[in-house]
Amino acid sequence: MEAEPKGLEASLQHLIQLHNHKSLMLAHHTEKAKKDAIRKAERVSDLLVEAVNGGVQDSFINQKRIELETRALASTITRFMKQTDQWLAATHTLNTALKVFSDLFAEDILTSQRRGIHKAVFSLEIGKLLVLMAGDSDGDTLLVKRLGINLRRKEG
């Protein structure tokens, strides 16, 4: 009977070893599954952060692009405003000069009519603009010459 307790004892030890081995395998498998789950959770987290940051980065790039275009547009507007002011000043100056010139021209035609001269020619140079006015004794023809371009206007 003493052999039997050794057999029972050996069976019990074998069962305990088997239990310990299965427990270790289960713990190892659990640890492996836990690490795998953590790794997958980190990957999901990274993908989510990347997706959110990608949108933010695109928005940031678009914002910078819009800011650059806004600055360029503001510069263009400023340049056009200066050009417009220059054109307005130039046309005002020209208009004033032409008014004075036409008054002198009209006076010259009247003087010429009194003297019996049938044609009058008058010219004035304003910067690069040459204004040439000619009229007959009736004062009905006006010729303006600007940089080689002749314009005729019949007043009636």
Interval 97-105 mean pLDDT: 80
Q: Rounded mean pLDDT of the chain?
A: 77
Residue 129 has pLDDT above 90, yes or no: no
pLDDT over threshold 60, residue 31: yes
Q: Distances from the Cα of 42 to the Cαs of 32, 34, 35, 36, 53, in angstroms?
A: 15, 12, 10, 10, 16
User: Is the pTM higher than 0.85?
Assistant: no
State pLDDT tens for residues 46-100: 998 888 887 788 888 999 999 999 999 999 999 999 999 999 998 988 888 888 8
The full DSSP string for 22-62 is HHHHHHHHHHHHHHHHHHHHHHHHHHHHHHHHHHHHHHHHH
State the pLDDT at residue 128.
53
Residue 111: count other Cβ atoms within 10 Å of its Cβ: 11
